[in-house]
Amino acid sequence: MPEVILVLQERTGKILRAWNEKEDLKKGDLCLIESDLGGDLARVVDTSRSIANHPKATKDVTKIIRKASEEDKEKFRELRNKEQKAFEFCLERIKALNLPMKLVRVNYFFNEKKGIFYYTADGRVDFRQLVRDLAKELKMRIEMRQIGVRDEAKLLGGLGVCGRTLCCFSFMKSFEPVTIQKAKKQQIVINPTKISGLCGRLMCCLAFEEESKGRMYAEEEKIEED
């Protein structure tokens, strides 16, 4: 009978809910899960019944393809090495072509037929020659994907001023607008260095704090009325 378990995605470090239909998996096992890249490696972190019975157990659930074999593990080790070499080659070509862009990450599809090159830039970049050079060297389809600074932080991760892993890297699935008004409503001193994240934008947790404080004030008002 299918069950929902928790897995830790090796590439991103995110905890995901996953359907396990027939594999005999226990905590610590590696498995292959479905992903936008055709497959990713993940480690089982929890198989307890409380996960399957959680109200959100069937929301945003990925699927476990199979328990990872030694061949799968070796395949992903090779992919990581190839991605690193592709990253270094791309950096060399960007410098040689004098392109105004910053390379952030390279991801290969599991079948190695396509590679995605994430980058940031202030404007449009003519990377046609770069794509030709990459395709010739790597023998695969090349996709150049421009991202913002918040997406860069989400891809690379890091530690926030609180000392914990960045929210966008660890659990957030999408970004919400964060404005300076949110900080003012919480009576926070408007110091850019203290309310900005690694990306240079306002910290996402300002939105979390506003929501939690709003509930707290509502509860206090209710108590006073009673």
CA angle 147–149–152, rounded 5-degree value: 70
Local structure of 43: helix, strand or coil:
strand
pLDDT at 129 over 90: yes
**8 and 42 Cβ atoms separated by less than 8 Å:** yes
The number of domains in the chain is 3
Query: Would residue 52 count as lying in a domain?
Result: yes
Better pLDDT: 97 or 187: 97
**Radius of gyration, alpha carbons of the chain:** 22
Give the rounded distance of the alpha carbon of 138 from its chain centre. Answer: 25
What average pLDDT does range 84-90 have in this prediction?
A: 96
pLDDT at 217 over 50: no
What percentage of the chain reaches a pLDDT higher than 90? 35
Query: Would residue 154 count as lying in a domain?
Result: no
Which of 10-24, 28-42, 107-121, 171-185 reaches the highest mean pLDDT? 107-121
Average pLDDT over the chain reads 81
**103 and 119 Cβ atoms separated by less than 8 Å:** yes
Amino acid in the structure at residue 156: L
Residue 214 token pair? 């709003």
- In a shared domain, residues 64 and 85: no
- In a shared domain, residues 45 and 103: no
pLDDT given for residue 219 in this prediction: 47
Query: Would residue 7 count as lying in a domain?
Result: yes
Query: Helices 128-138 and 70-97 sit at what angle, rounded to 10 degrees?
Result: 140
pLDDT given for residue 177 in this prediction: 73
Question: For residue 80, what pLDDT band results from cuts at 50, 70 and 90?
Answer: very high
Digit-coded pLDDT (tens) for 154-170: 777 777 777 777 777 77
What average pLDDT does range 20-38 have in this prediction?
A: 86
Q: What is the DSSP letter of 68?
A: P
Backbone angles phi, psi at 95, to 5 degrees: -70, -40
Instruction: Give the global pTM.
Output: 0.75
Task: Tell me the C-alpha distance between 128 and 98, whole Å.
Answer: 13
E strands of the chain, at which residues? 3-9, 15-20, 30-33, 40-46, 61-67, 102-108, 114-120, 141-146
- In a shared domain, residues 46 and 85: no
Better pLDDT: 142 or 217: 142
- In a shared domain, residues 35 and 62: yes
Domain span holding position 44: 3-68
Task: Tell me the C-alpha distance between 139 and 135, whole Å.
Answer: 5
pLDDT given for residue 60 in this prediction: 74
**In degrees to the nearest 10, what's the CA dihedral of 22, 26, 31, 34?**
60
pLDDT given for residue 61 in this prediction: 82
Digit-coded pLDDT (tens) for 184-205: 776 676 777 777 777 777 777 7
- In a shared domain, residues 92 and 142: yes
Which of 2-6, 37-41, 213-217 reaches the highest mean pLDDT? 37-41
